[in-house]
Structure 1
Amino acid sequence: MGCCSSKLPKSPGYEDPAILASVTPFSVSEVEALHVLFQKLSNTIIQDGLIHKEEFQLALFSNRSRRNLFADRIFDLFDIKRNGVIEFGEFVRSLGIFHPNAPIEDKIKFAFRLYDLRQTGYIEREELKEMISAILHESDLILSDDVVETIVDKTFSDADTKGDGKIDQEEWKEFVFKHPSLLKNMTLPYLTDITLAFPSFIEKSDAEDFET
């Protein structure tokens, strides 16, 4: 049992560590460690105990002005209540999906929502192209539009088994099982040993994720 859950100052959206531990892969003591981390992150720019997008950007890139579609989408999905900020409970619940022990189904669903930019329940061609371009850009890989188009074409050729010009959740699940490297950014090994250093969600990636 954690040593200090009752002593933690209550921030907006605070949830009891025991409750969060019961619905995430984290232990009570790990949730408490995450709360200390959350407090640091949520007060780096705006002192209100909530993580704003600028603070999220600062934690990811050490630069609050650097915008990236990939980071924006991660923020949007962490912001479960869709009120423009990340509360403590949202932070722990969402981060739990990246835990090595989190169910693969949760990782697949999260990744699908990441690519479903318009929130239509499908991944459309333009959405896939936008996300691939953003990931490549964040990985400092500069590819021509023709190469990106080729990657998108091949991905749709493999994933869109129904041939209707979009990828639904069932097709995405089958595609990911055939190409598990697509989920490599969905698991952060060091979450099994929480430290007070914010984990970067951005791992160096390359076009092979979509070509293999």
Structure 2
Amino acid sequence: MGCVSSSSTSSPRLCKRTPGYEDPAVLAAETSFTVNEVEALFELYKKLSFSIYRDGLIHKEQFRLALFGDSKGADLFADRVFDLFDLKRNGVIEFGEFVRSLSVFHPKAPVSDKTAFAFKLYDLRGTGYIEREEIREMVMAILDEANLRLSDFAVEEIIDNTFNQADSNGDGMIDPKEWEEFVKKNPACLRNMSLPYLEDITTAFPSFVMYSRAEDCSGLK
């Protein structure tokens, strides 16, 4: 099998020499995907990893363009999702990381995995707790993306409502256990953590765009 081609006149080809390549059977055993689904994701990965740069890796600009329809500008939510997909923390997404991270969004993925991913999405500083300022930053990012403006009072009301429900011990932080209980009572928080077409990826290849903002947990409907 050939290896990565960087020529602008040839079509992208990835193989076992591709950075981060992993055997589809191994990835299928570790995720919610079948071998056929992993192979279909490999075709998608090829397209994404050659959309701007041609090195067989998905850079942040390529990720944002594919998943959010825009490759430029600051976007807290998009950047946060990229960081969570970038498991090796090396600034790019390799094939194995791509499949493992997407597996969380598979309809058959465990709810516990979806809950944990959503927690990390809000835990912007990676402290193991969700703090008020992190909720505020995410709410403001959602508002900015939607071109909405709310008063400071309304924003604080959203934050207060979230903590009144989730911060059961009243210490001003939401820990993973409190988050789990909060999500059980507010299942809409995980509504966008399942992408139904991932089950049909071998028969109907979708336009891969994700707009799964966190509005359901922040009170922004």
Compute the TM-score of the two structures, normalised by the length of structure 1. Answer: 0.90
Shift of the alpha carbon at 1:180?
A: 0.6
Seq. identity, % = 60
Which residue does the alignment assign to 1:143? 150
Shift of the alpha carbon at 1:75?
A: 0.2
Seen in structure 2, the aligned counterparts of structure 1 residues 204 and 122 have a Cα distance that, compared at 3 Å, is closer
Q: Which range moved further: 117-126 or 65-74?
A: 65-74
Which residue does the alignment assign to 1:202? 211
Give the alignment's Cα RMSD to 1 decimal. Answer: 1.9
Q: Partners in 1 of 2:142 and 2:193 — Cα distance? A: 13
Q: Partners in 1 of 2:209 and 2:92 — Cα distance? A: 19
Which residue does the alignment assign to 1:92? 99
The question of 1:50 aligning with 2:57 is answered yes
Seen in structure 2, the aligned counterparts of structure 1 residues 112 and 168 have a Cα distance that, compared at 3 Å, is same
The question of 1:165 aligning with 2:187 is answered no
Structure 1, residues 28-81: CA drift from partner, whole Å, max 9, x if none? Answer: 111001001001101111110000001111112332113211110100000000
Seen in structure 2, the aligned counterparts of structure 1 residues 198 and 38 have a Cα distance that, compared at 3 Å, is farther
Q: Partners in 2 of 1:204 and 1:20 — Cα distance? A: 27
Q: Which amino acid aligns with 1:64?
A: S
Q: Partners in 1 of 2:109 and 2:145 — Cα distance? A: 25
| Residues 136, 205 of structure 1: 8 Å contact kept | no
Shift of the alpha carbon at 1:25?
A: 1.0
The question of 1:9 aligning with 2:18 is answered no
1:76 to 83, 92, 95: 83
Q: Which amino acid aligns with 2:210?
A: F
Q: Which amino acid aligns with 1:45?
A: I
Shift of the alpha carbon at 1:187?
A: 0.8
Compute the TM-score of the two structures, normalised by the length of structure 2. Answer: 0.86
Contiguous gaps of at least 5 residues in structure 1:
1-6
| Residues 115, 180 of structure 2: 8 Å contact kept | yes
Instruction: Give the aligned length.
Output: 205
| Residues 139, 204 of structure 1: 8 Å contact kept | no
Shift of the alpha carbon at 1:84?
A: 0.4
| Residues 37, 197 of structure 1: 8 Å contact kept | no
Contiguous gaps of at least 5 residues in structure 2:
1-12
| Residues 52, 85 of structure 1: 8 Å contact kept | yes
Q: Which range moved further: 172-181 or 64-73?
A: 64-73
